[in-house]
Structure 1
Amino acid sequence: MLRFLKSLVKGPGVGLPGFSKGADLCLSMASHLKDIMATVILSGSVLNVGSALHYKGMTILPRGSDPEHIKMTKDGFADIVDALNNPLEEPNRRSLIPVEKAESCFLFLVANEAAKLLQAHGKKKPKIICYPETGHCIVPPYLPVCLVSFHTLVGKLVIWGGEVRVHSMAQIDAWKQLQAFFHKHLGND
């Protein structure tokens, strides 16, 4: 896949944008593959989530969760924030993506733990932009704000949080930030 992406660009490498589960896949790719020059993580995690990832004899286990900690709203939606296990405690540390191995530049839109790991391993501090009062689903601008959707792993409708107006404005800014970051690290062409 990386060869295909490189065939589409003129520069020395490619950029990867990833949202939610796609974000931890992009982090994993940047941590293990060469020629990924810039990676943008939107509402992602420094942990592998969902299912095990396998690459060249290495396995990154999925982050654990406790379904007992899922709260149900009065409208019947699942609030899963407290259901995810602490990523910095065992056995969840085995789910950490070795982001410190990456040679990519990073832009994190709401993700502080990955930045701490990078800096702990002597890497340059990545650019981090936090959007208070927004929910999980920061997608390209002018798309409807996703407050609730069906989550396959949970098997229920899950609330994603956020205040609609603030979230909409964050989507516009995040898209501008993503484009500027890729132009800076990948060239203007």
Structure 2
Amino acid sequence: MSSQVRLKLLPRARCLFDEPVQVKVAGLRSRQVVTVRARATDERGVEFRSSATYRADGSGEIHLDRDPSLSGSYVGVEPMGLLWSLKADTLHKYFYKNKALHPHVVKFSVHEEEEKEEEGRMLAEVTNERFLIGEGVSRVPVKEGNVQGVLFTPPGEGPFPAVLDLCTFMSEKRACLLANKGFVVLALAVYTDKPDNVQPMHLDHFKEAVDFLQQQTKVGSKGVGIVSRSKGGDIALSLAAFVPGVEAVVWINGCSAIVGAPLYYKNRQILSPLPFDFDKVIRTESGASIIKYGLEDPKAKENKGTVVPVEQAKGRFLFVASGDDLNWDSKGYMEEMVERLKRHGKRNFESVYYPRAGHLLEPPYGPFCPSALHGLIRFPVLWGGDPQVHVAAEVDLWKKIQEFLRNNLSCDDTQTKAKL
């Protein structure tokens, strides 16, 4: 490595997962062309890499928030491009970073301009530790009745608003990042068993999670908020429609009807699953499929019994849909719910539409995932999204989620004191 070349991450090399960093290189020759690289390994041991070629300014410096990438994993000015463009050598790999206690470790390095297929000599290197769990946040595994999840609680006495994070499959990432912002959050998976063993779903089990959150001593909100995406979305809608105490629901790229299995509540079936037609799956050359057109239309008369009656909900909704969602027609489902709520004289919703984003809207600055193995149907699918537009949507949405939950989950000190 060159002793004169310096690679800096500002304001510091250790930060939270959802915090941006400024990447700066100094000590290069005037107008020198170099390659800046990043690499990280996920929880399954898969290595992801990215690279971009830059030309230094007259002072021998490169600022990623100012200077355009000339070629590589992305082009143009992308301050966090090396993070979101990380990808594996093999297709259809999702970056698994779901456990809160271990940071997302990224190695940044600067290399001399590469010749042919060879990686140029390394000039400088620095490690970025991106923590999911903030200082003082507690993480407690929960196994109580039918509630199996992980509870994250911010430091301090509170009172704090309560949020149920409904993941399709277990992930602690979004929950603990929200806890860092001052929410008591229970991460709960919709599917805890193997997909092959999916049984009818019982809304009562998810109601237990709502009740569990309301009983926490540091919780001060009069009701519970829910954050959901994909399959978690129709469960979140159902909780809002049938279960008291749900005050705010964030629905991201979900369905307006029940998907996958019938839904039961209080020992009776309340909703049937929307049928799926595998003949409408579109295979692509990459080996991944587009499944967007497989679900039948929830507005069809014969599917009336699958649609969640959101008009019954007392709380507020934040509907979020992506125009390039290739998993399902989230925009159409959002429009159907908005139309129905208006028809019932309801104005208890906000809607956000990202025309060129894909299905997997996540907390910002993780690797963009265009395709991966689907957890339920067990073959690779395309998620959609223009990478640069999608990751910008993630930054915007992350702020909107926090604002929505804060605005709609008011805390009362007297409620908290009564629990102690």
Q: Same fold (TM over 0.5)?
A: yes
Looking at structure 1, the residues matched to 343 and 387 of structure 2 have their Cα atoms a distance apart, in angstroms, of 36
Residue 309 of structure 2 is matched in structure 1 by 98
Report how many aligned residue pairs link the two structures.
Answer: 189
Question: 1:94 & 1:153 partners in 2: Cα distance?
Answer: 23
Q: Which residue of the other structure, out of 373, 376, 384, is the alignment partner of 1:161?
A: 384
Any conservation in 2 of the 1:31–1:102 contact (CA below 8 Å)?
A: yes
**Is the 2:220–2:411 Cα contact (8 Å) retained in structure 1?**
no
For 2:288 and 2:369, locate their aligned partners in 1 and report how far apart those are by CA, in whole Å.
13
SS where residue 220 of structure 2 aligns?
Answer: coil
Flag the structure with higher helix content. Answer: 1
Q: Distance between the aligned counterparts of 1:7 and 1:188, measured in 2?
A: 14
Partner of 1:23: 233
1:90 deviates by 3.1
Q: Residue in 1 aligned with 2:51?
A: none
Establish whether residue 7 from structure 1 lines up as the match of residue 215 from structure 2.
yes
Q: 1:45 aligns with which of 248, 255, 259?
A: 255
Aligned letter for 2:308? I
For the residue of structure 2 that corresponds to 1:106, the secondary structure is strand
- The alpha carbon displacement at 1:97 in A equals 0.6
**3-state SS of paired residue (1:119):** helix
For 1:2-151, list aligned pairs within 5 A: 2-8=210-216, 9-56=219-266, 57-110=268-321, 111-124=334-347, 126-151=349-374
Question: Larger Rg: 1 or 2?
Answer: 2
> Cα distance, 1:152 vs. partner?
3.6
- Asked if 2 retains the 8 angstrom alpha-carbon contact of 1:112 and 1:128, the reply is no
Counterparts of 1:121 and 1:188 in 2: how far apart (Å)? Answer: 29
Structure scoring higher RCO (CA < 8 A, sep ≥ 6) equals 1
Which residue of the partner structure matches residue 58 of structure 2?
A: none
Q: State the 1:188 CA deviation.
A: 7.0
Instruction: Point out where structure 1 has 5 or more consecutive residues left out of the alignment.
Output: none
Where 2:351 maps in the other structure, the secondary structure is strand
Question: Which 4+ residue blocks in structure 1 deviate beyond 3 angstroms?
Answer: none
1:92, CA displacement in angstroms?
2.0
- The 5 A counterparts of 1:166-177 are 166-177=389-400
Name the CA shift for 1:91/1:155 in 2 (closer, same or farther; >3 Å): farther
What's the CA shift for 1:47? 0.8
Mapped to 2, the partners of 1:146 and 1:116 lie a distance apart of 32
Distance in 2 between residues matched to 1:149 and 1:117, nearest whole Å: 33
Is the strand fraction higher in 1 or 2? 2
Cα deviations by residue, 1:70-110 (Å, 9 ceiling, x for unpaired): 11011111111121111111322211011111101010011
- Give, in whole Å, the separation in 1 of the partners of 2:312 and 2:223: 17
CA RMSD for the aligned pairs?
1.5
SS in 1 for 2:275: coil
Contact 1:45 1:114 in 2 (8 A): no
- For the residue of structure 1 that corresponds to 2:221, the secondary structure is coil
User: 5+ unaligned residues in a row in structure 2: which ranges?
Assistant: 1-208, 322-333, 413-420
Distance 1:23 1:176 in 2: 19
Structure 1: how far apart are the matches of 2:339 and 2:348?
A: 8
* Percent of pairs with identical residues: 35
Structure 1 residues 22 and 16, CA, compared in 2 at 3 Å: closer, same or farther?
A: same
CA contact (8 A) 1:37 1:105 kept: yes
Measure, in 2, the Cα distance between the counterparts of 1:64 and 1:120: 26
CA contact (8 A) 2:221 2:411 kept: no
Q: Which stretch of the first structure deviates more once superposed, 175-184 or 59-68?
A: 59-68
Q: Secondary structure at the match of 2:233?
A: helix
Cα-to-partner distance string for 1:122-176 (whole Å, 9 max, x where unaligned): 2115100000111111111112222112224333101010011110011111111
Amino acid at match of 1:5: L
> Taking structure 1 as reference, are residues 2 and 45 closer, same or farther at Cα in structure 2, changes over 3 Å only?
same
Of the structure 1 ranges 88-97 and 65-74, higher mean CA displacement relative to structure 2 is found in 88-97
Paired AA for residue 155 in structure 1: R
